[in-house]
Chains A and B, each alone.
Chain A
């Protein structure tokens, strides 16, 4: 970092009313450097980037690119100065080709026809230089999420960006895709581009960046070289107190609550689960690990009553139960944490109490003669809010206003308030920040202590290793044999994840 910085955010302060979203933040970025901006949700990362891009006018401070100050509040100025942004949610038109997407907005509206030749040459050169291989003629809708992200990056580069901001770029990626992205980022930095990588995931920050700037409550609370710091230190800086994820203590597994034998499930004619078998015991956590897209969703849906087995035997509480619907399972004592909070777990425009009771509203406890017992429902919800520390609203608040972590607490609460016999948790900490992850882990461990049989489906290896008593890997819809977590080592883990089960055994 000997050269002068290509980008300098100097003393940025931005208030909303009395709340300081950014409080005197200074961040520098050198040529060819990758800096990670680390912070929990609400720490001020997004506000800072909005100031950089001229979407907000800061109350104090200035933005310098190559030593020249950008006029405040002019989005065009940042783009013209060579700053590009890759958003977490892509801004691509799925029905257009890659080439068309990249060219959209770069051409004069008055032009007679689109000039694709020069654009194609420029893109091919860029793609080659940075290893961003993607078929320019492919329709964006047909691409994988990882490829779509590469298109977003190409788009920024096509507009001559030299400074690239990536907002939570790994949130939508699978682990191999994320690894691939990190390689591309390193190539880009080596080629002289400067990158800011926004994230709240510690291991990714350490893997991708050379320098880490930690934000908390609108301030810079620390700056570390990635090689001189650790996950624990960063977590502590980010949260402001020691956070340690809770640890699993030895348990005493009871009788089998759920057994699956030879289960095969087809969804729309495609076999998503093939000949799967597992046993779930009371007071024990079974972890299903694997890269997402290998059948986890279907497995969670199977145990949640959303899909049914085409072949095989599913035994629950000692009886064959193959065609149960969600309501019936909930009544039997199956708690279900859906993979996607927003699309499956919650209805954003419902009040909290409605979301708290929807899956059991037909039980006599919450309805009578077809009328909802609102008092009972609200009391139930208030109890969940109290006991599971849901912050940001009361029973009557619209659910949309809660943070992801608090929504997840509400989902756990509505399931655990009645002490289920089985708990299915699919990707329970996806998208949550460090504090919320610790809370969720604590709930899962508490449920297990209370004698619940927990099925934990997660692509986060650390999470599975920390919480599960036994582990099975899922690859291409098939489940490996279970392995006791304490007997597992890195080599065996790798073989299991790769589907090389014969060698792992």
Chain B
């Protein structure tokens, strides 16, 4: 309580559209400024460091395609989280769903898997990955709907279960006998690999699928009955129930979208980048998806931009680290900081300070 300078927070009557658009940009600039302090403390020139990040992320054909390759799974896991959080299904398990999607696609895409012609195999494997992700999320959701078990805990812990399961499979039944003892799964056959978007790079057509997925999610959320009911269930469950929205069924559908997108991310990563599963297939794409979704304020189109930002930081910081000797963990710090500044910025699009 200050000396006559008491500040009060007031809910804004309208969220000014200009502010809604500029808030994320301001948030990211502030985050970059704050991590600049850390870079300076590490003894490196700040502006040059950021320049290095940009060059390393986009400075060459190789760099740019690499950044976009990393953007692809982040878009899909970001969407998976955004869809779930919108309806207040707290899916922290995108990482696990990613891996079961990947594992399922690898298993059915290998020599002993589905015997389908090339044009049908890719869509079939994407579907397989999505279904695997869906099943993995429906388990904890069923526990929540039936017994009220908090899905934050169950989805989070399932990630570790899944990772150990993947380990077991690629050391055992699915182990590639030709991999010189490395723990990796049998590879998918050539027909199951996604076409490259740019020759002689890792960038594959999965990026296009991811962006299309974002558009579809956007349309479904804003234009369909299901989207409206899912938002209602998230914003005010008792009002939704009163209006006759079947809450359980709606949340199950939401979980199908969410788990399916995360599983799809895993399948696409296997078919597009590596061709087989290892336990480092994902450097935390599922968890980063949470950050991406929050950065995008759960907006499906915002997810695309947020995923690009996160990928830029992750890819760019490696190059910067090599050039200037600043630890590449600075990328994690910057992304985490931008999440915090974003939350503050979003707060001020809804509230204002009054003296």
Contact = CB atoms under 8 A, between A and B. Distances in A.
Given A55-B6, A76-B1, A362-B225, A343 B243 contact: no
B243 A359 contact: yes
Contacts of B294: none
B200 interface: no
Nearest to A369: B224
Contacts of A350: 231-232, 235
B228 A338 contact: no
A372 B224 contact: yes
Contact of A361 (B3, B228, B238, B239): B228
B112 interface: no
A112 interface: no
A345 B242 contact: yes
Contact of A306 (B3, B235, B242): B242
A344 B228 contact: no
A345 B225 contact: no
Nearest to B223: A371
Given A358-B243, A401-B13, A347 B232 contact: yes
Interface string B223-261: 111101101100110111111111000000000000000
A381 to B, nearest CB: 14
Contact of B228 (A72, A343, A354): A354
B239 A371 contact: no
Nearest to A358: B243
Given A371-B224, A372-B225, A306 B232 contact: no
A358 B225 CA distance: 9
A57 interface: yes
B4 interface: yes
B297 to A, nearest CB: 13
B146 interface: no
A349 interface: yes
A262 interface: no
Given A349-B235, A372-B224, A73 B6 contact: yes
Contacts, number: 80
A39 B62 CA distance: 71
Nearest to B246: A325
Contact of B239 (A327, A344, A401): A344
A206 B238 CA distance: 37
Q: How large is the interface on A (under 10, 10 to 19, 20 to 34, 35 or more residues)?
A: 35 or more
Contacts of A367: 225
Contacts of A328: 244
Nearest to B4: A73
A246 interface: no
A245 to B, nearest CB: 28
Contacts of B6: 54-55, 73, 75
A74 interface: yes
Interface in A341-384: 343-350, 354, 358-359, 361-362, 367, 370-372, 374
A304 B242 contact: yes
Contact of A330 (B3, B241, B244): B244
A306 to B, nearest CB: 7
A370 B244 contact: no
Interface residues of B, number: 27
A23 to B, nearest CB: 20
B239 A343 contact: yes
A44 interface: no
A305 interface: yes
Contacts of A326: 241-244
Nearest to B233: A347
Contacts of B235: 347-350
Contacts of B231: 350
B243 A57 contact: no
A74 B3 contact: yes
A75 B240 CA distance: 41
B8 A55 contact: yes
A306 B241 CA distance: 8
B225 A327 contact: no
Contacts of B13: 401
Most buried by A among B5, B239, B240, B241: B239
A338 B229 CA distance: 19
Contacts of B238: 343-344
Nearest to B219: A371
Contacts of B232: 347, 350, 354, 358
15 contacts: A54-B6, A55-B8, A74-B4, A76-B1, A328-B244, A330-B244, A336-B242, A343-B236, A347-B235, A348-B236, A358-B228, A358-B229, A359-B244, A361-B225, A371-B225
Interface of A: 54-55, 57, 71-76, 304-306, 325-328, 330, 336, 338, 343-350, 354, 358-359, 361-362, 367, 370-372, 374, 398, 401
7 nearest CB pairs, A to B: A326-B244, A327-B244, A73-B4, A359-B243, A344-B242, A358-B243, A347-B236
